[in-house]
């Protein structure tokens, strides 16, 4: 955990420096002048991605971060897919294309052509080796089930996130999920 926190701090400082430099360049070269220019649109996407990276480290809960970090390991890989169920809606499987974190901890995961969103603070997490259930604190909202064929143990981040099991937003954790096979 301490190693993760030290690394997080270095990355936060780097993201801040990159963001400041991007803003200076935008101002210096008057890059945001042409709203409809494709390069301007891509710069806005870059800023949105930098903001997501900072929010991943600072704003969302540890369980939510664990899920998104796991997805990052196989994002864009067509042989590792994710399926989801939301209430009565059950989809096929799709590739994780990207994710964003917006204000107030609103998470958006792009699975295939579907954008799945939730507010981190409003959910508790149930962890299994190859799926996660997001249970709303407000029982009137449907659970979100995420199924993936790239189990947690394959992403090699379990040791860094052992404290997820004790987090207040973790409702359940499969008993052997964070057990290191080498121990």
Q: Count other C-beta atoms under 10 Å from residue 87's C-beta.
A: 10
| Residue 33 confidence (pLDDT) | 85
| Residue 90 confidence (pLDDT) | 84
What residue ranges define each of the domains in the chain, with the CATH number in brackets? 2-58 (no CATH), 62-173 (3.40.1570)
Q: Please enumerate in sequence order all residues whose Cβ is within 8 A of that of 148, keeping only pairs 6 or more positions apart, or say none.
A: 70, 71, 74, 80, 81, 82, 83, 130, 131
- Can you list the positions of beta strands (E) in 63-104? 81-86, 89-102
pLDDT in tens, the chain (183 residues): 889 999 999 999 999 999 999 999 999 999 988 878 999 999 999 999 999 999 999 999 999 999 999 999 999 999 999 999 998 888 889 999 999 999 999 999 999 999 999 999 999 999 999 999 999 999 999 999 999 999 999 988 999 999 999 999 999 999 999 876 544
Predicted model pTM: 0.92
| Residue 88 confidence (pLDDT) | 86
Tokens describing residue 158 = 């379990």
Q: Please enumerate in sequence order all residues whose Cβ is within 8 A of that of 114, keeping only pairs 6 or more positions apart, or say none.
A: 84, 91, 94
| Residue 179 confidence (pLDDT) | 79
DSSP letter (8 states) at residue 33: S
Please report which helix (H) or strand (E) contains residue 132, including its range.
strand 131-136
Q: Count other C-beta atoms under 10 Å from residue 107's C-beta.
A: 24
């Amino acid at each position: 955990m301490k190693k993760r926190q030290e690394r997080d701090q270095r990355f936060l400082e780097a993201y801040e420096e990159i963001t400041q430099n991007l803003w200076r360049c935008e101002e210096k070269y008057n890059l945001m002048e042409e709203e409809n220019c494709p390069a301007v649109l891509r710069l806005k996407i870059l800023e949105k991605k930098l903001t997501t990276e900072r929010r991943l480290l600072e704003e969302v809960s540890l369980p939510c971060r664990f899920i998104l970090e796991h997805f990052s390991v196989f994002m864009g890989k067509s042989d590792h897919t994710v399926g989801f169920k939301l209430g009565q809606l059950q989809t096929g499987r799709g590739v994780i294309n990207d994710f964003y974190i917006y204000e107030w901890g609103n998470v958006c995961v792009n699975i295939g052509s579907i954008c799945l969103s939730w507010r981190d603070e409003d959910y508790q997490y149930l962890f299994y080796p190859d799926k996660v259930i997001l249970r709303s604190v407000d029982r009137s909202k449907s659970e979100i089930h995420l199924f993936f064929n790239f189990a947690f143990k394959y992403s090699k981040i379990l040791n860094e996130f052992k404290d997820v099991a004790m987090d207040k937003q973790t409702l359940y954790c499969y008993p052997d999920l964070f057990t290191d096979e080498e121990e």
